[in-house]
A and B are shown apart, each in its own frame.
Chain A
Amino acid sequence: MTEILAAHDVAVEFTHDGQTLQAVRGIDLTLDEGETLALVGESGSGKSTLALALLGVHQLARGKVTFRGDELASVEPHIFRKHVQPVLQDPYASLDPRWRVARSIAEPLHALKFGNIEARVASLLDAVGLAAEFASYLPNALSGGQRQRVALARALAPEPSVLIADEPLSALDMSVQAQILTLLADLQRTSRIALLLIAHDLTLVQRVAQRVAVLYLGRVVEQGPAARTLAAPLHPYTAALIAATPSLARTAADAERLVLPGEPPSPLAPPPGCEFHPRCPIARDICRTERPLLVEHAPGRKAACHFAGEITRSSDISS
């Protein structure tokens, strides 16, 4: 396996009105060629911030990002831009409102001296399930899901080696989702594209990711192979996420019992000890004082919990 993009102890801070918010607090991650790594976690846990740090958008408070082993600062910007493409969480922000769809998709191609740009745009539109007519649309005439697919087509245009996709399927119905997933799987097979997929839909993660990293309050709290992690999570937060995933079978009464107690912690004033302890069903004294480190519990499986593995079945969380 060849590592293509990596975060080494990456930290990102934001300062406002004299207060410092540590959005990402020391994260190590590697992304290999041809693999899908899913990044999941609570809203506000730092997923998008980490993605932007990997893209070189955010200045790092600590640590470094490497592309094919080289620190980002020493990689030629145009090479990086060709190989590492983002799909931003907000597709509205990533498309110029004055540009027609064809121009938005073609834009990254001009710099790369691509041959037949028009044909490439047409095939990309088709690949993401949009009729050729949409080439002449302005973003504000697109539905949410159509816009999201234009943003994806644009990112795929220069044939990148890495796609950093922040909730790229969240506005899509299941049929279109299936179509896009098939497209990405094909790309992975044929051109070994690496995918960092930020998603909150765990059923989706289970289907497409080889590995998963779970974020809570700016840190990775669990990491491992996707199938095993989702079948038998080590960290109680992962278990809570799995339990809370909606399904057709779940009744409203079931769901009522699954709500995590307490409020999401503030990154401005993180709790002492384990950051999850105020909401954790199995927290004990040590959890209130000592922060557990992310350590290996089984081959390839890491968790930051003093009692890792105690809650494995998601049903335990609701009792």
Chain B
Amino acid sequence: MKLLDLQDLHVATEDGVKLVDGVDLVIAQGEALGLVGESGSGKSLTALALLGLVRAPLDARVTRLAIAGQEMRDADETSWRRLRGRSVALVFQDSTTALNPVRTIGSLLVETICRHQRISKREARARALDRLRDVGLQPHHADAYPHLLSGGMRQRAMLALALANRPRLLVADEPTTALDATIQLQILHLLRRESRDRALLLITHDLGVASELCDRIAVLYHGRVREIGSAARLLSTPRHPYTRALLDLVPRFDMEASIPTPIPGSPPAPGEQIQGCSYRLRCPRATEQCLERPTLEGDADYKIACWNPLND
């Protein structure tokens, strides 16, 4: 069963600047999909769109958006509110917008749990403490206000909040960036456990994390998916030159320690119009043909948008 079916997502500014430009994402039950791509490529906006949280002055449009079987394309705020936190939940990239500063972590958790489940306050409180334990926090953290927690603790509190009602689709936007390696490992296990019979969309810039947790990976560049396929295939034999470049930059411990060379050039400026493939100007394989925009093509298992892919 598809827990996420997103077709043709567009997010644009009032002035018509395209920030997300036709993204399709499908996630089946039991599946974890990784979304990777450069800073500013539209990952967080995609995540927000999946929860109906793209706000004016931005505008989001889809051809289809179904979450856990529910059609949400034309849903109003009331239906979104019923869905959010129960069928789909988001771990925000920043904790400041997600955690109300004047509420304790425990009361936020209890409120979220009670909004969607008919249980007593006491039961909800017990469940809240369980969720805190799941993310490696302690019972006394329930009484803490967000600003009294460390950065990594706040990040885990957000995760506990998102997992409070065991959503069928969890969207996690860089959920481990503030965590040290041992706690990150613990959280990755938790995410794997939680997504086993549900679904996970994991946004990350850490391909090591994506490879460990995700069944499939989608590579986003400048608002468009450039390559999507099984994690094993993408990481071992990437075909899009951008995916290859990202992989070449993954640090390894055994490597002679030095600062790697960034991908030449810079990502398009906001509103910049580039004819054809917008990676063309940074791509070592670009040809005349790239002046025409390649479409994302392939089958259900694997798709690529490139005229001159590698490993052919």
What string of 1s and 0s marks CB contacts (under 8 Å) between A256-285 and chain B? Answer: 101110011010100000000000000000
Chain B residue at smallest Cβ distance from A40:
B180
User: For A313, what are the chain B residues with a Cβ–Cβ distance below 8 Å?
Assistant: none
Whether B205 is near chain A, meaning CB under 8 Å from some CB there, is yes
Task: For the complex, give the distance between the alpha carbons of A245 and B253 in Å.
Answer: 9
Q: What residue in chain B is nearest A209 (Cβ atoms)?
A: B257
Inter-subunit contact B181/A241 (CB<8 Å): yes
Query: Are B189 and A178 in contact, with the CB atoms below 8 A?
Result: no
- Residue on B with the closest CB to A144? B93
Check B259 against A185 for contact (C-beta < 8 Å): yes
In this complex, how many residues of chain B approach chain A with their Cβ under 8 Å: the count is 67
Whether A182 lies near B262 (C-beta < 8 A) is yes
A179: B residues at CB distance < 8 A: 262
Complex formed: what's the CA distance from A57 to B278 in Å? 45
Give the CA-CA distance A266 to B139 in the complex, in Å. Answer: 10
* A208 beta carbon closer than 8 Å to chain B: yes
List, in ascending order, chain A residues with CB within 8 A of B249's CB: 174-175, 177-178
Question: How far, in whole Å, are A93 and B154 apart by their CA atoms in the complex?
Answer: 14
- Does B183 belong to the interface (CB within 8 Å)? yes
A60 sits at the interface (CB 8 A): no
The answer to whether B153 touches A43, judged by C-beta atoms less than 8 angstroms apart, is yes
Q: Which residue of B lies closest to A19 (CB)?
A: B140
**B266 interfacial contact with A, CB 8 Å:** yes
Choose among B181, B186, B257, B262 the residue with the greatest number of A CB atoms under 10 Å from its CB. Answer: B181
Is B209 an interface position by the 8 A CB rule? yes
Closest Cβ–Cβ distance, residue B204 to chain A (whole Å)? 10
Contacts of A233 in B (CB 8 A): none
List the B side residues contacting A208 at CB < 8 Å: 259
- Cβ contacts under 8 Å, B94 to chain A: 90, 92, 144
Q: How far is the CB of A221 from chain B (nearest CB, A)?
A: 13
A203 touches B180 (CB 8 A): no
Which residues of A172-225 have CB atoms within 8 Å of chain B's CB atoms?
Answer: 172-179, 181-182, 185, 200-204, 206-208
How many interface contacts (CB-CB < 8 Å) are there between A and B? Answer: 193
Contacts of B93 in A (CB 8 A): 144, 171
Q: For the complex, is B212 an interface residue (Cβ under 8 Å from A)? A: yes
B150 within 8 A of A: yes
B37 touches A171 (CB 8 A): no
* Chain A CB within 8 A of B10 CB: no
Provide the residues of chain B in CB contact with A129, threshold 8 Å: 266
- Among B37, B39, B250, B258, the one with the most A-chain Cβ atoms within 10 Å of its Cβ is B39
Interface assignment of B122: CB less than 8 Å from any CB of chain A: no
Determine which of B96, B150, B184, B257 lies in contact with A48 in the assembled complex, contact meaning CB atoms within 8 Å: B150
Please report the total number of A residues contacting B with Cβ < 8 Å. 72
Asked if B280 is at the interface (CB within 8 A of a chain A CB), the reply is: no
| Assembled-state Cα–Cα distance A285/B261 (Å) | 49
Is B283 positioned at the interface, with any CB of A under 8 Å from its CB? no
B259 with A207: CB separation less than 8 A: yes
Residues of A within 8 A of B43 (CB): 143
Given A44-B153, A176-B262, is A247 in contact with B252 using a C-beta cutoff of 8 Å?
Answer: yes
Contact residues in A for B189 (Cβ distance below 8 Å):
255-256, 259
Task: Given the known inter-chain contacts A93-B96, A172-B39, A204-B251, please indicate yes or no for A42 contacting B183, CB distance below 8 A.
Answer: yes
Smallest CB–CB gap between A166 and chain B, Å? Answer: 8
CB distance from A170 to the nearest CB of B (A): 4
Contact indicator A246/B182 (Cβ below 8 Å):
no
* Residue pair B44, A246 in contact (C-beta under 8 Å): no
Residue of chain A at shortest CB distance from B261: A178
Given contacts A44-B150, A248-B250, 17 further A-B contacts (CB under 8 A): A43-B180, A43-B183, A92-B96, A171-B177, A175-B245, A182-B259, A182-B262, A185-B259, A201-B251, A202-B253, A230-B253, A244-B184, A246-B181, A246-B184, A250-B208, A256-B189, A259-B185
Give me 23 A-to-B residue pairs in the complex whose CB atoms sit less than 8 angstroms apart, sorted by A's number.
A43-B150, A43-B156, A44-B149, A47-B150, A143-B43, A145-B205, A149-B39, A173-B205, A176-B39, A178-B260, A178-B262, A202-B253, A203-B251, A207-B257, A243-B181, A244-B181, A246-B181, A247-B252, A248-B207, A248-B208, A248-B252, A252-B192, A259-B186
Binding site for A on B (CB under 8 A): 36-40, 43-44, 93-97, 133, 136, 138, 140, 143, 148-153, 156, 173-174, 177-186, 188-189, 192, 205-209, 211-212, 235, 245-247, 249-253, 257-263, 266, 269-272
The 6 closest A-B pairs by CB, nearest first: A145-B39, A43-B152, A131-B269, A246-B208, A174-B249, A203-B251
